[in-house]
Structures are given as C-alpha cells and as structure tokens.
Chains A and B, each alone.
Chain A
Amino acid sequence: MTQATSPDRLIYMANQIGTFFRSQGADKAVPGITEHIRKFWDPRMRKAITAHLDAGGEGLDPPVREAIAALKG
C-alpha cells in the first residue's frame, strides 16, 4: 500500500473501523461504525465514501455498507 489514494484508502479505513465494532457484538456494529465515522471524518471524506457506496461500494464489508448508508440520514 504505497501511494493509496481514496477511495481505496477510505475503504481500507472504513473496514478497519468495521472490524473493531463488529467484535463489540452484532447489535453494536452498525451504529458504532456510523457514529465513529461521523465523529472523526471530515465532510469530504464522508462524501467520498458515500459516493463510493452509491457507485456499488466495492470492497466494503457488509456492516460497513450498512453503516455508511445510515450516515446519510
């Protein structure tokens, strides 16, 4: 992973966050990921990952997809 640019790097980061919250229990995963991304990602990063989801969301793990979909709300 040398010159990773988004969305690759964002997908990687989102999945990493997903991995942590998944381990916290099924019910906590999606809200945990959504909250984390909303709290720590700047708007352009959130926009980019949402756009990536809208474009098919390739590479995003399942709960992460759900969590990003919930970001829009």
Chain B
Amino acid sequence: MSLVHEIDYGTPRAKSATMVTLTIDGHSVTVPEGTSIMRAAMEMGTQIPKLCATDMVDAFGSCRLCLVEIEGRAGTPASCTTPAMNGLVVHTQNQRLQTIRKGVMELYISDHPLDCLTCAANGDCELQDMAGAVGLRDVRYGYEGENHVFAKTKPSPGHDHSPHDCENDHWMAKDESNPYFTYDPSKCIVCSRCVRACEEVQGTFALTISGRGFESRVSPGMSESFLGSECVSCGACVQACPTATLTEKSVIAIGQPEHSAVTTCAYCGVGCTFKAEMRGEELVRMVPYKDGKANRGHSCVKGRFAWGYANHKERILNPMIRERITDPWQEVSWDEAFNFAATKFRGIQAKHGRDAIGGITSSRCTNEEVFVVQKLIRAGFGNNNVDTCARVCHSPTGYGLSSTFGTSAGTQDFDSVEQADVVMIIGANPTDGHPVFASRLKKRLRAGAKLIVVDPRRTDIVRSAHVEAQHHLPLLPGTNVAVLTAMAHVIVTEGLVDEAFVRERCDWSEFEDWAAFVAQPKHSPEATGIMTGVDPKELRAAARLFATGGNGAIYYGLGVTEHSQGSTTVIAIANLAMATGNIGRPGVGVNPLRGQNNVQGSCDMGSFPHELPGYRHIAGDAVREQFEAMWNVKLNAEPGLRIPNMFDAAVEGTFMGLYVQGEDILQSDPNTKHVVAALSAMECVIVHDLFLNETANYAHVFFPGSTFLEKNGTFTNAERRIQRVRKVMSPKNGLEDWEVTLGFAKALGYEMTYSHPSEIMDEIAALTPTFAGVSFALLDEVGSVQWPCNEKAPLGTPVMHIDGFVRGKGKFMITEYVATDERTGPRFPLLLTTGRILSQYNVGAQTRRTENIVWHEEDRLEMHPHDAEMRGVRDGDWCRLQSRAGETTLRARITERVAPGVVYTTFHHPTTQANVITTEFSDWATNCPEYKVTAVQISPSNGPSEWQRDYDEQARQSRRIAIPAEAAE
C-alpha cells in the first residue's frame, strides 16, 4: 500500500469542445481551448514550477515562478494564466528562466522559517519542493531585515534590549481557535490559494488578504479568529495551502501519512469520497478525492474532520445482554450474545406467532449490511416486518416518484447543477444539510443561474455571500401542496406548459384532467394566499421564472416529505417538472436531497416491508420465486409492518421483538412517549450500534457496531451513485457489521455464508435488474456507477428518463390540498417546524462525540421577536415548549429568520427531546411522520421539564454496565 497520488494540473480543466495544438519543449500537445500552458505541460508530464496555482481554483498569477518563454513573444509570461493556443512554441526551462525562478524562490525563503526538519508539512510542502525544483542552493539575505518569521527581531548592534525594541510588528501569533486546523502566519507566502478556495470552491468568502505588499496577510473576516469568523470549517483552504501555514492538527500531532485508501463519507447523502490517509492503522486525515464524482474534491466539516467518534471513550466494544432493562448490562462473548438473542426471538415467535418479531435496517450501514438484515428477516424470521429509517424521512419520495415517473429515486447526477438555469429549492436547507452540494450550487448561482426558495424559514441560501434568491416564498408549514398547485395554476393558465414535451412523453388525457384541476380559480395564488401566507405576486413571478427561465431543476428535502401530505407534495413536484418539460436531460430534473449517507441504498436494498430489493412488491410471484430459489426458503407473500405500525402493534401486544441496526429510533421517531411505551412493551429489543444510544436504554441485547473505517462495502448516495467503502483499520469491536448479522442469523438457524461483502453484492446483482452490472471489481475499476447499471447501461445512468419515463408515459396526478389535522388554536397558537445544522448530523450520536460541538452545544428554539415579546421570552432564556403530545424545555434564540407564528428547532441533542413534542400525524401514503408541523405553545420557564429529568435518570440507570466479576479460570 502507498499513498493514492493525485496529479495537480495547476489550473482547472477547460470544458471547451474545441481543441488547440501547441508545442511544449519540442513535443506536440493537444488540449481543449481555454487550457493554461501550465496544464497543457502537466498533461504531457512536464511540471512547471509553481506556487500560487493549484487545479482546484482559477489561476491568479502572483508568484511568478511558473514563467515560460514563448517563441515570438517578448518577456516571460506566467504559464498558469496564459492560455494554450494553436501553434505556440513554448520552452519551460532554460538558463534565463532558471535564474529568474531562483531569484523568486530566494526572496520567499528569506522570509520563511528554516525549521523544515520539525515542520508538520515536512515531506508535503510545495515550498520545499519548489526550492528543490529550481535548484536553490543558498540564500543571500538574512533575517536581519523586515520579516514575518520571528516574534522578536534579532538583536542588532545598537540594540537596547528594551521590549519595545524587540517587538516585530510583522509577526503574528498562531491561530489555534479552530479545533481541527492551525493557522501559523509566520509560514504564509501569501499565495492566496486559501482565499480563492474559500471563495470559488466553498463559496463562503470567509478569507481576505488584508494589507498590501509586504503588509499583506491572510485574514479570516475582519481580522477575526477562524472560529469567530464566517468560516464553516470545510477545510478547503487547508487543502489548498502549499505550506504548513494551514495544517490539520491531526497531522501536527501524528505526522505525515504513509498510505491511503479511497472511501466514502458516512454522514450525508451527498456521498463525498475521500482519501483516508493513514499511518499504520491510525487515521491521520481525510482528504477529499478529486475524482469523486459527487464532490469533485470538496467536502464539509463533518466528512473531513468529524471522525473522532470512532475512538470516543463511550464507544462500546463488547457485546452485552440483560434480562430486564432495569438491570445493568453484562458483557459477554459474541456467541453468548448471539445465542441469548436467538433464544429470545425464537421464544417470542413460539409464544406470539411468527409475525411478532421484526427489524429495522440502517441508512448508515452499507448496502451489503442492509441486504443481509432484510434477508435475515424475510428468510430467517419468516415475515416481512422490515423497515428502515427512510420511513421517517424520504418514504414519500419513493411513493411519489414511482407513481409519476416509475422509479423511486432522483433523476440527475450532481454535475447536472452546472447546467441548470433556474434552481428551485423546496423544504431543504442545503448549506447546512448537504453542504458540498450547496457549494456546487452556489458556484452555479454566482455564474448567473436564478434561485427560487420555498421554505418557511429564511435559510442561508436565500441570501449569502454573492448569492441571493430571486424569490423566497415563506409559506406556512404544512401548505406545500397548496403552493405548488398554485404554481401549476399559473403555468397552466398563463399558457406556459411545454406542450410538445407533455404530448410526447406523458399521458395526455391524465394531463388534461390535471390541467383542468389546477386551472380552477380556487387554486390561484390569490385564492390560496390566505392559507399559505405567500404573496401571490411573488408566487406568480416565481412560477413564470421557473417555466420560462431555461433549464429548471428542483431540489427538495425533508420539508417536503415530512408532512401528512408528503407523498402528494412529491407528486406535485413531479407534475411541475413534467408540465415544464424539465425532465430527461442534464440541468433539469427532480432531485431529493437525502439525509443520511445510505438512505437511497437502504431503500434500494429491500428495506421496506412490502418490497424486495429493487422495489418489487413481495406479492409478485415471479420475483418472489427468484428470491426463494436463491435463498432456498419459502417467503411470506404478505407485506409486513412499517415502523409506526410496529410501535402500535407492540403497544397492543402482537409485536414483541425488534432488531435495530444502527438507528436511534427513540430519539429520531415522533412522539417519544409512544415510542417509549412501545419499546417498554417488547420482550426483546436488540440494538446494534456504536454507542449506547437512546433506544438502547430499552434494549436487552447490545451488539457493538463497526465504523465505516472498519469495513468494506458500498454506499449509494442521493444521485443513485454506488461507491466503495474501504476498510482502513480492523474493527475495534472485533466484527464488521455484516459479520454481526451473520452471527445472529446462524444462531437463529438461518446460516448465510459469505466470506467478503463483494459476494453479497454479487447476490444483489444477480437478484436485482437495476444492479445487474454492479460488482466490486467494476467499482474498483471505474470508481463509481449510478444505477440502473446493467447490460443496457454498463457504466450506469447519470440522467434518468432520457428517451421516455421508466413507467412508460409520465403520469400527472391530481394534488388536492388537505390541511393537516395538526392545527393551531387558542391553546397551541404557534407552528413548530424542525431542521438541522451544518456541524451536527441527525440525532448527533457521532457528531456530538467530536470537536464539532464547539459549533453547536445545544438545540435552540428560534422564534420571531414579535412572538417572543408577547410571551416575555428573551434571547437565551429557557422556555417551555408544549404540544398536544408533550412538553420539553430549551433555550430561545430570537431571530427574524422565522416568520411570526412559526418557531423552529433542531434535534441533535437527546436532552432536548424535541420529539416529545412531535405528534403521530403522518403521510397518508407512507406513514412518514409529520415532523415539520406541530402546533405548540411557548412560555418562559426556569429549566428542564420533569419529563426531561425523569428521562435523564432512566437513561443513567439504564446505561450502567456491570463490573465483570474476577474471571474464574
């Protein structure tokens, strides 16, 4: 093994289709028009010395190290800023160039510390490399003159040793404020790569070069610390820095890595790929992979830095069991745990029937791990009581898109956004939830694409550095369908429908029914404005822009799905895309932004109780028989229970055993009290996770899990892209997660034999037509593929529905707005909606166990100043949040981001107990809970509620682990 090496071409790839040919050092080279001479040279293998250029940002031309000679031109132009042109004859090295370069380097080095041997970047420093490349042998200038290197100037002859005389005004102390990287200004060469990375790649504009000439310095914000500035800690600047100025603290602590493997982030649905850079089995740093097709070399703070949880002291490494949830845990061997669990589960089946047990697959685990869990349930348990946490987030996407288009997935790849002209974001907060996609989107917006945001809150994307939405429609939570139908009304009644597209691709008579429906006056923006709170003029303008602005792309999130009309909203989105002809080519489409890393994959792998892998209904004999033949067992043809149905059945006494793989249902599911009642009613709950999560407080068996660094497999991101997860260290708990499931299955008497996850993927491919071409060998060869990947599309399918919809004709469906039954009234006059923030992830189990807590110590309740004043709540005050389901307390943040009448909170911390408040109302089609609308009341309070205190006490009791008795050997 060695480090995965990526070539730095110096400047970004040019996209032109026109090619130009030039001669460099006697060799002819052909490149796309717009390519720099530097890049052209690198493509033929010649590296021109450079410092201020790197291929993640546009060239700037400041260091003057990359000079070349061009025949027939005077002077020595910079190769990074000079474009290749037909017929140029370029020389990259001769005496004159070398002398100039040496002079440049000499100046740099004379103001740079020479502590290379002890520098953290030793071995990975471009300044060092370039000193070698230009043949620098001695430096004629000393540090006596002005410099940035020393805190104090060197004593000179007339030096009077007073402190004042010693101080060096040019010197700046290190900034250690960011938990993950250090800024050491004494090593800065002011190449501005970091500044450009922050602007062009990340889009945050947190860094500037302040001052001029010798005074110029990199500075976050207005001379703030990194932590105190706008910086979101994405790390792009650290990656761009050619010196040790910006360096990962882990590299400073451990040293330079010696080998690496390409793997996929285990946090969000963007699916960034990284090089995991290692020393032995120790992870040194994660560096985003340039060839990663989802992230193109970028990442966010979570994927790059927040992996410390893997070594957190609270991670559980031994299997544990207990008879009652009031007992302390007993550590046991794997076999004891498997047998204990199997005996319990078989006992429950004997007593309550075959259908009394089930399981929940994890959207964080690999495809292979999810596949074996659903196989265990269908084949080993003998029922279809399998569900996944996608139930509580994107199940309406599956229903809505398969009904209208014929597939349960987004239609595009992320690259597609580069060709979008109008982007509509509905119920999603990409800068926090899907940061790398947000960076790519912002780049496109800065280049001129238009933006429409449909969201109750003024999210960051509505207005941020150099990005401003043309239209923000701040609708009341729960009125998505009314707003989208009103947009359709405008498009139909103003004659903006793409009729040619609809006639060719969609069922025309269904379209006519739909058009007649949306055209009714009661669906006009003016008529619906009172319910939705959206200004009709803005809505009309937004609809016109979307229909006529060129390529229109829709991206949506949980603000769409987590409603009682979640599925209807997805259908309304699909209708809009079809009516405007925005399906089936790059730059358009309907794109769900998935929450967890493998939500798409866990759905694809047959995690829903009515569907076998590949979204085929369990009642279909032909498909089921294929699985029966392969698995050598008779399968149950009836759909099983969905998560909320499992809870109801548990309370009723017909569902008594649950195997939960890598999810914290108690914290993430609505109406916590009901979930507690359900879990307490069960006879055996098995939790398979890294930590004693909240659900584990009610568990009888704990199988310790492995992290994504400790296993092989694949994740499938929001663009249907299947990517490898590669094992870089041995599982600290002893087994990879798929091996845990296999061990449990064996104890239950249903043995599955795989020696490597690649064999599981082979079985998936054999049974699932959309995965037919997928194998680990293919992924190792080409990096990633987007399903469908089969004979017709051997390298996968970036854009779907190109020549026609998967279901045949696109299906328009009527979307009647039905107000949710969760209504405000005198007792509960405010609407609560929930969301997430950048630095934390989901229920926070991982991110809370990293340094990311510096950005988010607690969940806060956002409320409008008007509502706060009426209730006597001030910023930072504790307040009581009550709904029909329950109450909790948390601290207030007063902000105009939310409209009067609407309050907002995140759900990353268990003590907040936001789901004590949320109700069990759910999507009509899929039972996806209505997290996004809860009627609440708020009043001042002086601390945690009784429920929170009781809950904490229960949790504390339940987490006790018995001290093992002396081993009697």
Residues of chain A at the chain B interface (Cβ within 8 Å): 1-6, 9, 13, 16-17, 19-20, 23-25, 36, 39-45
A19 to B819, CA, bound (A): 11
Q: Are A44 and B654 in contact (CB under 8 A)?
A: yes
**Which A residue's beta carbon lies closest to that of B641?**
A42
Q: Are B927 and A42 in contact (CB under 8 A)?
A: no
A17-B924, A17-B925, A19-B924 known; A40+B884 contact, CB < 8 A: no
In the assembled complex, 16 residue pairs joining A and B whose CB atoms fall closer than 8 Å, in A order, are: A2-B674, A3-B673, A6-B652, A13-B922, A17-B925, A19-B816, A20-B818, A36-B925, A40-B639, A40-B926, A42-B385, A42-B609, A42-B638, A42-B639, A43-B355, A44-B355
Kindly identify, within residues 601 to 628 of chain B, every residue whose CB is under 8 Å from any CB belonging to chain A.
609-610, 617, 619
A39-B639, A42-B641 known; A20+B884 contact, CB < 8 A: no
Q: Which residues of B contact A40 (CB under 8 A)?
A: 610, 639, 642, 925-926
**Which A residue's beta carbon lies closest to that of B385?**
A42
User: Which residue among B648, B654, B677, B816 has the maximum number of chain A CB atoms within 10 Å of its CB?
Assistant: B648
Distance (whole angstroms) from the CB of B569 to the closest CB of chain A? 12
Q: Are A1 and B920 in contact (CB under 8 A)?
A: yes
Q: Are A5 and B884 in contact (CB under 8 A)?
A: no
Which residue of A16, A23, A36, A42 is within 8 Å of B816 (Cβ)? A23
Q: Are B648 and A6 in contact (CB under 8 A)?
A: yes
Q: Are A43 and B568 in contact (CB under 8 A)?
A: no
- Using an 8 Å CB-CB cutoff, how does the interface string of B363-395 with A read, 1 for contact, 0 for none? 000000000000000000000110000000000
Which residue of B513, B638, B924 is within 8 Å of A20 (Cβ)? B924
Q: Are A25 and B814 in contact (CB under 8 A)?
A: yes
**Which A residue's beta carbon lies closest to that of B564?**
A16
**Which B residue's beta carbon lies closest to that of A45?**
B645
Interface of chain B, main secondary structure: loop
Q: Which residues of A contact B609 (CB under 8 A)?
A: 42
A3 to B355, CA, bound (A): 23
Q: Are A20 and B920 in contact (CB under 8 A)?
A: no
Q: Are B920 and A4 in contact (CB under 8 A)?
A: yes
Q: Which residues of B contact A39 (CB under 8 A)?
A: 610, 617, 619, 639
A13 to B821, CA, bound (A): 12
Give me the 7 closest cross-chain CB pairs, A-B, nearest first. Answer: A23-B816, A16-B924, A42-B641, A43-B638, A23-B814, A42-B640, A20-B924
Tell whether B660 is near chain A: CB-to-CB under 8 Å: no
Tell whether B420 is near chain A: CB-to-CB under 8 Å: no
Distance (whole angstroms) from the CB of A8 to the closest CB of chain B? 10
Q: Are A19 and B818 in contact (CB under 8 A)?
A: yes
A2-B885, A3-B651, A16-B564 known; 19 new pairs, CB 8 Å cut-off, are A1-B919, A2-B673, A2-B674, A2-B919, A3-B677, A4-B920, A9-B648, A13-B927, A19-B816, A20-B567, A23-B814, A24-B814, A25-B513, A40-B610, A40-B642, A42-B609, A43-B638, A44-B641, A45-B645
Q: Are B568 and A20 in contact (CB under 8 A)?
A: yes
**Which B residue's beta carbon lies closest to that of A18?**
B924
In the complex, the number of residue pairs spanning A and B with C-beta atoms less than 8 Å apart equals 75
Tell whether B813 is near chain A: CB-to-CB under 8 Å: yes
**Which A residue's beta carbon lies closest to that of B353?**
A44
A45 to B646, CA, bound (A): 11
Tell whether B671 is near chain A: CB-to-CB under 8 Å: yes
Q: Are B925 and A2 in contact (CB under 8 A)?
A: no
- Using an 8 Å CB-CB cutoff, how does the interface string of B824-864 with A read, 1 for contact, 0 for none? 00000000000000000000000000000000000000000
Distance (whole angstroms) from the CB of A48 to the closest CB of chain B? 9
Distance (whole angstroms) from the CB of B386 to the closest CB of chain A? 11
Tell whether B104 is near chain A: CB-to-CB under 8 Å: no
Which residue of B355, B671, B814 is within 8 Å of A42 (Cβ)? B355
Distance (whole angstroms) from the CB of B641 to the closest CB of chain A? 5
A19 to B385, CA, bound (A): 27
A36 to B564, CA, bound (A): 16
Tell whether B496 is near chain A: CB-to-CB under 8 Å: no
Distance (whole angstroms) from the CB of B608 to the closest CB of chain A? 9
A25 to B642, CA, bound (A): 28
A55 to B568, CA, bound (A): 32
Q: Are B671 and A2 in contact (CB under 8 A)?
A: yes
A2-B884, A42-B645 known; A24+B813 contact, CB < 8 A: yes
**Which A residue's beta carbon lies closest to that of B644?**
A9
Tell whether B130 is near chain A: CB-to-CB under 8 Å: no
A29 to B876, CA, bound (A): 51
Distance (whole angstroms) from the CB of B843 to the closest CB of chain A? 23
Distance (whole angstroms) from the CB of A61 to the closest CB of chain B? 13
Q: Which residues of A contact B925 (CB under 8 A)?
A: 17, 20, 36, 40
Q: Which residues of A contact B641 (CB under 8 A)?
A: 42, 44-45
Q: Which residues of B contact A42 (CB under 8 A)?
A: 355, 384-385, 609, 638-641, 645
A13 to B920, CA, bound (A): 11
Tell whether B251 is near chain A: CB-to-CB under 8 Å: no
A19 to B677, CA, bound (A): 30
A16 to B928, CA, bound (A): 13
**Which B residue's beta carbon lies closest to that of A16?**
B924
A23 to B513, CA, bound (A): 11
Q: Are A1 and B921 in contact (CB under 8 A)?
A: yes
A18 to B719, CA, bound (A): 33
Q: Are A5 and B648 in contact (CB under 8 A)?
A: yes
Q: Are A41 and B639 in contact (CB under 8 A)?
A: yes
A1 to B820, CA, bound (A): 13
Tell whether B649 is near chain A: CB-to-CB under 8 Å: yes
Q: Which residues of A contact B884 (CB under 8 A)?
A: 1-2
Q: Which residues of B contact A20 (CB under 8 A)?
A: 567-568, 816, 818, 924-925
A40 to B385, CA, bound (A): 12
A20-B568, A24-B813, A44-B355 known; A13+B924 contact, CB < 8 A: yes
A23-B814, A42-B645 known; A3+B924 contact, CB < 8 A: no
Q: Which residues of B contact A17 (CB under 8 A)?
A: 924-925
Q: Which residues of B contact A2 (CB under 8 A)?
A: 671, 673-674, 884-885, 919
